[in-house]
Each structure stands twice: as C-alpha cells, then as structure tokens.
Amino acid sequence: MLILRTLSRGQAMHGFEIADFIQATSTGILQVEEGSLYPALQRMLLKNWINGDWGRTEENRRARYYRPTAAGRRQLERELERYARVTRAISGVLALDSGGA
Amino acid sequence: MFRRLRSWSRRDAESAGIAEEMDLHRELRERRLRERGLAGDDAHFAARRQFGNAALYRDQISDLWGWSMWERFLQDLRFGARALAKAPGFTTVAVLTLALGLGINAAIFSAVGAVMLRALPYPEPDRLISLWEENTRPLSAAAKYSSTGAQAGSAGAVTRTTVAVANLDDYRASGAFEDLAAYDLAPLNLTGNDTPERIGGEAVTSNFFSVLDVSPARGRTFLPEEDKPGANLVAIVTDGFWRRRLGGAENALEQSILLDGKSYRIVGILPPGFQSPLDLGLQSKNEVYVTASYPAPLLASRADHEVNVVARLKPGISVASARAALSATSSNLARQFPSTNQWIRAAMAPLRDDLTGKVRTALLALLGASGLIVLIACVNVANLLMVRAAGRRHESSVRMALGSGRAGLMRQLLTESLLIGAGGCAAGIALGMALMKALTAIAPAGIPRIESAGMDWRVFSVSAVIALATSAIFGLAPAWQASQAKPVDALRTAARGMGGTSQARWRTALTIAEVALSLILLVGAGLLLRSFSTLMGVDLGFATDHVIAMNVNLPKTRYPDGAARLRFYQQLEARLRALPGVRSVAYANRMPMRGGWSSGIFLDGDQGRLAQPDFQAVNPGYFETLGIPLLGGRGFGDQDSASSQPVAIVNLEFARRLLNGGDPIGHSVQRGPGAPKIVIAGVVSDIRRSGKEGDIKPEVYLCAAQTSLYPVVLADLAVRTAGDPRSLVNAISNQVWAIDKDQPVTGVQTLDEIIDAAISQRRFQTLLLAVFGGVAVVLAVIGIYGVLAYSVSQRTAELGIRVALGAAPGTILKLVFQDAGALIGIGIVAGLAGALGLTRFLETLLFQIKPTDWRAYGAAILLLSAVGVAAALIPARRGASVDPMIALRQD
C-alpha cells in the first residue's frame, strides 16, 4: 500500500527513491530492511499493479523506474478504503474505551 | 501467466537487472550515509546492514516467478537423461516396449476410428437410417410343412433382403421419417466418342439427394416428376466423371451422354468427394446417377425386393421409436397382404452402423487385441521400472543418508520414468504412423473408409496419456517405496543383497499378468489361424485355375430379348473357341462368386413341395470350363433349344434335400403355377457357389439356349485356357468388339483372383492377430527374462552359499526353473480363464472352429511354456555357474 501510494504521486521512481521517500515521510518510524522492497516490487510487477521501465538516473546510471498501472491504482483505492475502515473501527473502539474509563 | 512465461525466457537478464537495482540501491544509500558524515567503511557496512540479506531476497524473487521450480526440473531432467544413458540396455528395452505397444495401438485405433467412429460425409448424419426387409420364412421348413403352416418361424434363418418398391409408401407413412429414398446399383454402358466403357452408376428416386441433404455443385437435383415412367432422361454426374469424361467443361450441363444407347441430359454435377452410401470409402466409384423409373408391375409388386433404402429421421425422433413405428407398419402389411408380406419384416439401423456392420466385429477384435498389447507393454515397462528402482535402492539410500530430501528423491525417479514415457510415446507415434501406412496398404478392399485413416489428436492424446500414466504410476510406486525406506534399513538390506519382499511380490504379479495376457492373445491368434487353415482346406467343388471371367452386359436397347443375347453369346463362343490357347468357353447369367439368382419352385407339380434353390442359366460348356463333373443323366447339348422341352441339371444337394437323396432325373420343377415344367435331365456334383465360406446349396442349372423362358439375362463369360489366362484378355476383348464395337468388357478377373479377394479380409485379420500374438510373446519373454535375471542377481550370495555347501549345478538350475515354472504356470492358468471368457467374442470371425478349440489352446500353452523356459535358461545357467568365492566376497 505504501509503495503504491508513493508511486501514485505522479512521477516514476526507482527502488532507492521509493525506500527513501517512505522513510522520509514516515519520519523514520517505519524501519524495515530495505532489501525487502525488491521482492515486494517484483510481486507487484507479477500482479500487474505496477510497470517497471529501465531509465537513467541524474548521474546517468541505469535504474528501473516504477509507475502504477490502472489495476494498481484501483488496488490502492481498495487498500486505502480497507485501511480507513479498519482505522475507523479501531479508533471507534479506542474512543469507547477512553469514554468508559 | 504470460508475464511468468516471458520472465522465464529472460530470467538471466531479469536476475541481472534485479542485482543491478540492488547494487544501485546500496551504493546510493552508502553515499547518502557518507554525506551524513559516516566514514568510508562504516558507511559501506551500514548500507549493507540496512539493506539486509540480498541473496535471500534474490531467492525470494526467483521463487516468486517460479524460476527455481523450472531450474530444479531441468536439473532433474539432465540428471535423469544421464542416468538413463548410463543404462542403455534398460532404456532401449523400456522405450522400445512402450513404442511397440503404443505404435500398434495408435495404428489400429486410427483405422478403427476412420471406419467406425468418423461421421458420415452428409449433413446431420445421425438422422440417416438404412432400411431393409427381412424374410423370416424358414427355408426348408416351408417346403416340408407348408401344408400344416404350423411351423411359423421355427427354423428361422432370417434372410436380409432389399425392399419391395410397393412397400415404400407404407414405410414413409409410418411417420418416423422426414423422407425416404430408394437407390440401387445401375451400371451403365457409356458409348459415344471414346472407347465404350462400363461405368458405375445408380438408379435413384428423385428425392435421393434431398434425403442425403446433398446439393449439386452445379445445376440442380432431380425434379419430383423425373422418376415417373416416360419422363425425360436426365443424369447427375460426379465431379470426377465431369473432369474425366467431360473435360471439366463449363457447358457440361447442356450436354447429353449416351448411356446404354439412350441419350441422357446432364442436369447436375455433384460436389467433389461425394460418395453414395453404396460405395462409401470403397475403391469402386459410382459416377452417374439416373432417376429410377420403376415399371408399373414393379411399383405394384410387394413380392419383388429390389431396392436399397436410405431414410432421414424426423428431427427429435429416436431410432428406437422409429423402429417401433416401422414394425407396426410391417405388422399391418402382413395382415393386409398375407400372400406377399406374411413373412416380411421391415428392419432398420443407423446408416453408419449398417455400413460398418460387416467389419465391426473384426475391427473390435483387433482393437481389443491391440489393447491387450498395450497392457502387456505397460506391464513390461512397469516391471522394468520396478526392477531398476529395486536395483537402485542402495543408491537411493546412500543419497538419502547424505541428506537429499524424500521429495527430491521421488521427483528424481519420477522424472526418469516420465522421460522413458515421453520417449516411448514419441517413438510409438512414429512407429504408429509407419504401421498405419503399412496397414492401409495391405488392407483388403471392402473395409469402408480405411484409406482415409490418419493420426489425429485423439490418437496422439490417448497414446500420450497411456505412456505418461504408465510411467508415472509405475515410476511413482517404486519411488515412493524407495523414499519410505529408512536409510539405515535400506543400507543394511542392500548390503545383504535382497530386494524388498513387497517389490518382489509386485514384480511376480506383473509378470504373471503379462504371461496371462499373452496367452489370451496367442489363443485368439491360434483360433484365427486354425479358422484360416480350415478355410483354405475347403473344397469349392469347381476348378479355379486357368479360368478368366468377365462381364459382357448387353444393353437392352441393342439386345432387347433373350434370343438376341443368346445369338451374341453363341457367336462369341464360336469365335473364342477358334482362338489358340482356349480350352473351353462358358457363359451364364453369373459365374460362381459373382452374384446369382434364386427363385422359388415347386416339385413335380405339387404346390406343397416348395423350395428356393439357386438358379443359373448356363451353356453346355459351363461344366467343362468350371470343372464340375457330371454324375448322372446328360449335360446340355445342341438338341436343347428355345422350342424343345425345357430341361435342367441339378446338383447332389438338390437331390439330398428335396428328394431324400433319390435320383432326380425325370422329376420336374416349376417356377409357378402355369409356368412351364422343367424336366431334370442330369446331375452334377456340388459346388460352393458363394465361395469357401458359403454353404452348399441346392442348385438348378437351366439351359442357356432356353433363357427366353426365364427372367434371367446372360451377362457373364468365363474361358478356360491352356496357359496364363491373363494373357488372353486382349484377344477375348477383341473378339467381343469384332461382334459389337460399342460393347464394354468389364469385371475381368481370374477365378483364382476372385477366390483370393474373397479370403483377403480374413487373411488380413489373421495376419494382424498372428503378428500381435508374436509381439505379445516377445514382450512376455522380455518380462520373464527380466524378472528371473534380476532375482538371480539378487540371490547371488544365497546361491553362492548353496554351492559352497555342496549344491550341484543341477539343483541350482532346478531352483531357478521352479521360479520360472511358477510364473508361467500361474500366468497360463489365469490366461486360460481370460481366454475362455474373451474368445467368445471372436465366434463370428471363426470358420468352422469353436472358440474353445483345444488345439488352439494347446498350441498357445505349448508355445508360451517353451519360450518361457527358454527365457529362463540364461538366468538359470548364470545362477548355476555362480562361483561361491566371488559370490560371498561380493559384499
């Protein structure tokens, strides 16, 4: 979800940019091994949620730039909605808890 | 799926790409960290730490795409191929065995498919019905008991006949059929510009093509009024005829052709490939269709069964309900017209079944036999696989002890089996194609549509499924067993040189099954061989050597009556007798084995003494030409003429059946009340008119000079020659043309060729089944040898100890032969039971041999025992020659 959300901002990004962006925006709270990004990207490629095209970085290095497909965008919407439902439910339960105390 | 496949084909590039991405990532991270102030090496390692285990992630990705599965499979495949290549003997035998079984099966399956399974080449063929009539009157009983009339249908030999034209409307009114059409062979003499030619043709009712639902490619079908008497003469020709005789001319539709001396206007040209049900898939080709204008007497007659009938069921009507409607109709007709229809019953079958009916049993028997071959081959391969797996227990346990997984081990063994299966399948299909060609080449004429047989996807897939299933199941069983064994136990038993007992039991059972199946095939082949040799030994009663026969069909337009035809034949006889090399000349309505005529008669004016003998009109030279000896009275001579007393010659069977063996000379027969009395003047010996498989029937030979008294047409000529009869064909034809240059000569065959053609189908079946039996024996020998050789090699140590303890070589031989004897003995007993059960189905294919013929069984048992013992010989001698020192040191 995070990857899709990151990519759906518009411009295509390569692996390091994605990892860096997620780290930066989550202010370093979400810390995972960065390598796990790559199986995740491959899984999404396989499911046709994203496309990966080889391009050049600013320093003229070869890198694969990922962008979401239409199916990927729909998937993101579904996931965001599910996430919203869950957080609503959780915050509802939490609110009940604090109200009762 | 597509992405997966694409990624598989480019997996190396993909992996490299992913590695590159990961490298870039770490590099960028390192640089970022260094920018934040970390020292060189620290930044490098921190970046690596943060990234995690790159190799692990790469493996994850590779699993994700399914590459690793493929990689492992390829590895198994390579390993399997190497392992098989190291055992070339085993591999060759296994692959060849499978190939033999599958090849034979594929060829037979294709042939049977072409003949029996493929749909007829007409639209909605399942609705097409063949219709005929059956005469249920008991043949001889009618003569003996007709006065009491009480024996209705008792000795009922039902004879199938064609349909009486007058009954057609009633059958049409039964309501089951959309329509029904009559058709019959009508060979015609084509004359005109080219050489006169006798062409195959059919006389059909005007709705014939609409019942078949076939439209001409050019022109039109017949109009309803065109099959009425006096209508314009029109013809529809095949595409082949149009190209061959009319040069494919565009204006052919306006042309007329001369058929039997009359001018027919061509109104339609059929689409290419059209064949009438009468010659569907046969070599003979009917090329011209004319309308059948049945004369008024025939249209009114329910007694003259003349035409073939094809009907199209109404949509939604089942065969069973149509049959019920038809049988109700024939019951009605029997009540309404007892004199003609009392014994007549309408019968029907789907057209396809009717066409294949005659060869159905034979083909099914062949299919069954080839199925048995496949079974034997599969059993053999299974056996070989199990022997091999058992032999590799040691290897398996070592590999397992060294840590390879059970799953991996099984996968490896299974891959090997599948390799053999795939190899066998490919070789089998190749062999099948070759066999298919051979089969259609040697197939006798008369098996409909066999030449259209070809491999199709069904054959391929059936073969592939059989091959892969066998190799998978029987590769899996030992693989599973091997993987079940605890490495320690396995190592220990392997060290002792013993096969697993359960495996040994399996192998024994499989070999017994193989022996049993082979016996069934051998018995079947034996029965057919016995039938064939019995048939060859049958005396026809006439001499077939040095006789050439041919049709000289004189058209009615030029030879309107019996007298004209007789004149032609008498002239021809005189001319032919003058030819050098001609011994004698016969002419008749039909020569033996070339069709005939039978008619009801009564004896000595007593209308109660009815019979239905064969009738022939023959010239005086007939008996000499065919070598039929005169036993009493006189032959025909110059004194017999159209104006003298009608005379006949009968055979012994006539006297036996109708006169209780008394002397027939002086008795008389009549073909109907008021018909001339025909006095019997001579007796000749019996012949089998319809060939070796036919019965001896009562025969009445009429005098050719008196044919104008009878409804019979002289049309067949036979010449006995001094030398090769074929060499005189041109000379004889020239004499015919010297009398009438427009007269075709057709159906030229020596009597030997006719006899040969008549038995060709049986010879074909017998040959195939004998070959199958031979293949089965070879496979069984391989099986027996394999099991015994293996068991001897496994028992080397045991045998060594026996020898060391003083066992004579003879004792060891006996041991091995006991094993062999048990295998063969039990197999034979099981096979006997199977054979007794299955050969019943061969009954209709047998000639004067019972399915339980003890000679066939005895020969099969002897042969199988002999080859079984021979197969045991080598392993037994190897066992007996075991050197105890070597044997005991082996471990």
Q: What is the mean pLDDT of residues B165-191?
A: 88
Q: What is the mean pLDDT of residues B556-561?
A: 84
Torsion of CA B145, B670, B585, B634, to 10 degrees: 90
Q: What's residue B266's pLDDT? A: 93
SS3 (DSSP) at B315: coil
Q: How far apart are the CA of A18 and the nearest CA of chain B, in angstroms?
A: 10
What's the pLDDT band for B484 if we cut at 50, 70, 90? low
**Predicted complex ipTM:** 0.82
Q: What's residue B580's pLDDT? A: 92
Cα distances (angstroms) measured from residue B268 to each of B230, B251, B729: 20, 11, 36
Model confidence pLDDT, tens digit, residues B351-373: 888 887 767 777 888 888 888 88
Q: Which residue has the higher pLDDT, B667 or B147?
A: B667
Q: What's residue B220's pLDDT? A: 92
Half-sphere exposure of B629 (CA within 13 A, CB side): 5
Q: What's residue B687's pLDDT? A: 92
Residue indicated by tokens 């009801």: B600
Q: What is the mean pLDDT of residues B413-431?
A: 85
Lowest mean per-residue pLDDT among B524-528, B680-684, B847-851: B847-851
Q: Mean of the per-residue pLDDT values for chain B?
A: 82
Measured CA to CA, the distance from residue B137 to residue B339 in angstroms comes to 12
Q: What's residue B710's pLDDT? A: 84
| Amino acid sitting at position B689 | R
- Among the partner-chain residues A15, A36, A43, the one whose CB lies closest to the CB of B21 is A15
SS3 (DSSP) at B813: helix
Q: What's residue A25's pLDDT? A: 80
Q: What is the mean pLDDT of residues A13-31?
A: 78
Q: Decide if B51 and A20 are in contact by the 8 Å CB cutoff.
A: no
Q: What's residue B260's pLDDT? A: 81
Instruction: With CA atoms as reference, report the closest residue to B49 among B35, B33, B65, B37.
Output: B33
* Cβ atoms within 10 Å of B303's Cβ, excluding its own: 13
Q: Does A54 touch chain B (CB under 8 A)?
A: yes
What's the pLDDT band for B764 if we cut at 50, 70, 90? confident
Which chain B residues touch A38 with a CB distance below 8 Å?
18, 21-22, 25, 57, 61
- Among the partner-chain residues A16, A39, A57, the one whose CB lies closest to the CB of B60 is A39
What's the pLDDT band for B150 if we cut at 50, 70, 90? very low
Q: How far apart are the CA of A23 and the nearest CA of chain B, in angstroms?
A: 12
Q: What's residue B624's pLDDT? A: 94
Q: What are phi and psi of A14, to 5 degrees?
A: -95, 175
Lowest mean per-residue pLDDT among B15-24, B119-128, B383-392, B729-738: B383-392
* Cβ atoms within 10 Å of B643's Cβ, excluding its own: 7
Percentage of residues in chain B having pLDDT higher than 70: 88
**A57 → chain B, closest CA residue:** B24
Q: What's residue B445's pLDDT? A: 66
Q: Decide if A35 and B52 are in contact by the 8 Å CB cutoff.
A: yes
What's the pLDDT band for B378 if we cut at 50, 70, 90? confident
Assess whether pLDDT exceeds 50 at residue B755. yes
Beta strands in B634-760 (DSSP E): 647-651, 668-670, 678-684, 699-703, 716-721, 746-750
Q: Decide if A42 and B29 are in contact by the 8 Å CB cutoff.
A: no
Lowest mean per-residue pLDDT among B548-562, B574-588, B589-603, B846-860: B589-603
What's the pLDDT band for B3 if we cut at 50, 70, 90? low
Length of chain B: 891
Which chain A residues touch B50 with a CB distance below 8 Å?
33-34
- Among the partner-chain residues A39, A48, A64, the one whose CB lies closest to the CB of B57 is A39
| Amino acid sitting at position B831 | G
What's the pLDDT band for B739 if we cut at 50, 70, 90? very high
Spatial neighbors of B494 by CB under 8 A, at least 6 apart, are B393, B394, B397
Model confidence pLDDT, tens digit, residues B291-344: 988 877 778 878 777 789 999 999 989 999 999 999 999 999 989 988 788 888
First and final CA of chain A: distance in angstroms? Answer: 35
DSSP B471-526: HHHHHHHHHHHHHHS-HHHHHHHHHHT---HHHHHHHHHHHHHHHHHHHHHHHHHH
Model confidence pLDDT, tens digit, residues B767-800: 888 888 888 888 888 888 877 777 777 777 778 8
Structure tokens, B545: 């050597």
- Among the partner-chain residues A20, A36, A62, the one whose CB lies closest to the CB of B57 is A36
| Amino acid sitting at position B568 | F
Q: Does A13 touch chain B (CB under 8 A)?
A: no
Q: Does A66 touch chain B (CB under 8 A)?
A: no
Q: What's residue A100's pLDDT? A: 44
What's the pLDDT band for B441 if we cut at 50, 70, 90? confident
- Among the partner-chain residues A35, A43, A63, the one whose CB lies closest to the CB of B54 is A35
Assess whether pLDDT exceeds 70 at residue B275. yes
Given its phi and psi angles, is residue B5 left (phi above 0), alpha (psi -120 to 50 degrees) or beta? alpha
Which domain, by its residues, includes A94?
2-100
Q: What is the mean pLDDT of residues B608-632?
A: 89
Q: Does A42 touch chain B (CB under 8 A)?
A: yes
Output the domain CATH number for residue A88: 1.10.10.10
SS3 (DSSP) at B189: strand
Measured CA to CA, the distance from residue B525 to residue B177 in angstroms comes to 44
* Cβ atoms within 10 Å of B611's Cβ, excluding its own: 21
What's the pLDDT band for B666 if we cut at 50, 70, 90? very high
Torsion of CA B808, B814, B816, B820, to 10 degrees: 170
**A47 → chain B, closest CA residue:** B3
Assess whether pLDDT exceeds 60 at residue B664. yes
Q: What's residue B5's pLDDT? A: 62
What's the pLDDT band for B153 if we cut at 50, 70, 90? very low
Torsion of CA B884, B885, B887, B890, to 10 degrees: 170
Q: What's residue B548's pLDDT? A: 94
Assess whether pLDDT exceeds 70 at residue B486. no
Assess whether pLDDT exceeds 70 at residue B612. yes
Lowest mean per-residue pLDDT among B234-248, B490-504, B678-692, B842-856: B490-504
Percentage of residues in chain A having pLDDT higher than 70: 90
Q: Does A61 touch chain B (CB under 8 A)?
A: yes
Question: Burial of B180 by CB count in 10 Å (0-12 exposed, 13-18 middle, 19+ buried)?
Answer: buried
Residue B260: DSSP 8-state: T
Q: What's residue A5's pLDDT? A: 80
Which range among A62-76, B275-289, B618-632 has the greatest average pLDDT?
A: B618-632
Q: Decide if A34 and B50 are in contact by the 8 Å CB cutoff.
A: yes
Q: Decide if A19 and B60 are in contact by the 8 Å CB cutoff.
A: no
Instruction: With CA atoms as reference, report the closest residue to B762 among B847, B843, B695, B694.
Output: B847
Residue B696: DSSP 8-state: P
DSSP A6-67: HHTTSS-B-HHHHHHHHHHHTTT-S---GGGHHHHHHHHHHTTSEEEEEEE-TTS-EEEEEE
Q: Decide if A34 and B25 are in contact by the 8 Å CB cutoff.
A: yes
Residue indicated by tokens 């199925």: B371
- Per the CB < 8 A criterion, the answer to whether A73 and A10 are in contact is no
Q: What's residue B478's pLDDT? A: 64
Q: What's residue B501's pLDDT? A: 62
- Pairing outcome for strands B305-313 and B163-164: antiparallel
Spatial neighbors of B878 by CB under 8 A, at least 6 apart, are B789, B792, B793
Assess whether pLDDT exceeds 80 at residue A79. yes
Q: Please, where are the H alpha helices in B36-152?
A: 40-51, 54-64, 67-86, 88-112, 139-145
Half-sphere exposure of B333 (CA within 13 A, CB side): 25
What's the pLDDT band for A20 if we cut at 50, 70, 90? confident
Assess whether pLDDT exceeds 70 at residue B247. yes
Instruction: With CA atoms as reference, report the closest residue to A3 among A27, A36, B860.
Output: A36
Model confidence pLDDT, tens digit, residues B494-551: 444 444 566 677 778 888 888 898 899 899 889 989 988 888 888 889 998 999 999 8
Assess whether pLDDT exceeds 90 at residue B235. yes
Q: What's residue B143's pLDDT? A: 39
Assess whether pLDDT exceeds 80 at residue B14. no
Q: Decide if A62 and B64 are in contact by the 8 Å CB cutoff.
A: no
Q: How far apart are the CA of A98 and the nearest CA of chain B, in angstroms?
A: 38
Q: Decide if B22 and A16 are in contact by the 8 Å CB cutoff.
A: no
Q: What are phi and psi of B107, to 5 degrees?
A: -65, -50
**A60 → chain B, closest CA residue:** B24
SS3 (DSSP) at B624: helix
Q: What's residue B497's pLDDT? A: 43
Measured CA to CA, the distance from residue B270 to residue B213 in angstroms comes to 12
Q: What's residue B157's pLDDT? A: 55
What's the pLDDT band for B149 if we cut at 50, 70, 90? very low
Give the number of domains in chain A.
1
Q: What's residue A28's pLDDT? A: 66
Q: What is the mean pLDDT of residues B854-875?
A: 88
Whole-angstrom Cα Rg for chain A: 17
**B55 → chain A, closest CA residue:** A35
Q: Which residue has the higher pLDDT, B596 or B434?
A: B434
Q: Does A53 touch chain B (CB under 8 A)?
A: no
What's the pLDDT band for A22 if we cut at 50, 70, 90? confident
Q: Which residue has the higher pLDDT, B747 or B704?
A: B704
Which range among B38-42, B385-389, B478-482, B601-605 has the greatest average pLDDT?
A: B601-605
Model confidence pLDDT, tens digit, residues B53-75: 888 888 777 777 776 667 777 87
